[in-house]
Amino acid sequence: MNADGKGRRGINGGVLLLVCIFHIIILGALARAFAPEFTQSVVEKATSLVTVTVRTVEPEPEPPEAELQKSLKAEGAAAEAGRQAIPKEMAAPKPAIARKSPQPLPPVSSNGSESSSGAADAGQGTGAGGEGSGTGSGNNGDGQGGGGARGLKKIDGNITSARDYPRSTRRLRRGHDVVIELTVGTDGRVQSCRVTDPSPDPKADAITCQLATERFRFAPALNSAGEPITGRYLWRQRWY
């Protein structure tokens, strides 16, 4: 009995659903036939519920050219490109070539010239001595005679420093000179000295004779036979 009751309720529900659908179709057909505007509005409302509206963002219009230039000026225009720097060619300086000063020639016989530290000197001598053999001649002389004869030749010693003379009498001798005569022996050393042309400073003249005797050395004079003889030598000392 329960099974039969459940089957009847299931059959009655299905029949009821079919009847409802049928009535809806009939009502729709009648409404469409007799009231088309009503059905159209219902359709529009139904469709409007599913309408989707899409909005797009339109780009802003570009500003006019004048406003663009104005804004660029307000921001500050870029400076012009700088000039390209061209490096100047530099050449290494050529090394200076030091010139060698010419070596002074050795003093010739009977002549000399020296200067340093405020003093200067010059000398002159002959190849003859006190023996009366006359002036000698040879490679460095002139005059009578021949063979191996030669005059005196100064080979060492000088008077070149102003410190050799007293400062107290400097004004007397400055710009002046003295001439002395030296007698040179066969060994080349000075045997005696005398002043032949004095300066205004007698002390300086005496000192000159003393220094010449102590410092000067000579190659002795030779006679025509090539033998050493005594000779005389003149020396001029100048002060500046």
Per-residue confidence band for 68, with pLDDT thresholds at 50, 70 and 90: low
The residues, any chain, with a CB within 8 Å of residue 207's CB and separated by 6 or more, are 164, 165
On the question of pLDDT at 51 being above 50, the answer is: no
Q: What is the pLDDT of residue 98?
A: 60
pLDDT band at 92 (very low <50, low <70, confident <90, very high): low
CA gap 132, 99 in Å, rounded: 49
In a domain? residue 37: no
- Which has the higher per-residue pLDDT, 4 or 25? 25
Work out the percent of the chain whose per-residue pLDDT is above 90.
Answer: 37
Domains of the chain: total: 1
Highest-confidence segment of 28-37, 38-47, 53-62: 28-37
For residue 187 the two structure tokens come to 């060994």
Which of 89-98, 111-120, 151-160, 187-196 is the least confident region? 111-120
pTM metric for this prediction: 0.43
Contact (CB, 8 A) for 200 and 178? no
Answer yes or no: is 75 within a domain.
no
In a domain, 21, yes or no: no
Residues 199, 201, 202, 203, Cα dihedral to 10°: -130
98 vs 166, more confident? 166
| 175 within domain boundaries | yes
Mean pLDDT (the chain) is 70
Residue 197: CB atoms within 10 Å: 12
- Residue-number span of the structural domain to which 162 is assigned: 114-239
Residue 35, CA atoms < 13 Å, CB-side half-sphere:
9
Instruction: Give the residue, 129 or 213, on which the prediction is more confident.
Output: 213
Establish if 140 belongs to a structural domain. Answer: yes
Long-range contacts of 51-54 (CB under 8 A, 24+ apart): none
- 101 domain residue, yes or no: no
Neighbouring CB atoms inside 10 A of 71's CB total 10
> Does residue 154 sit within a domain?
yes
Give CA separation, 181 vs 17, 22, 100, in Å: 173, 174, 37
In a domain, 186, yes or no: yes
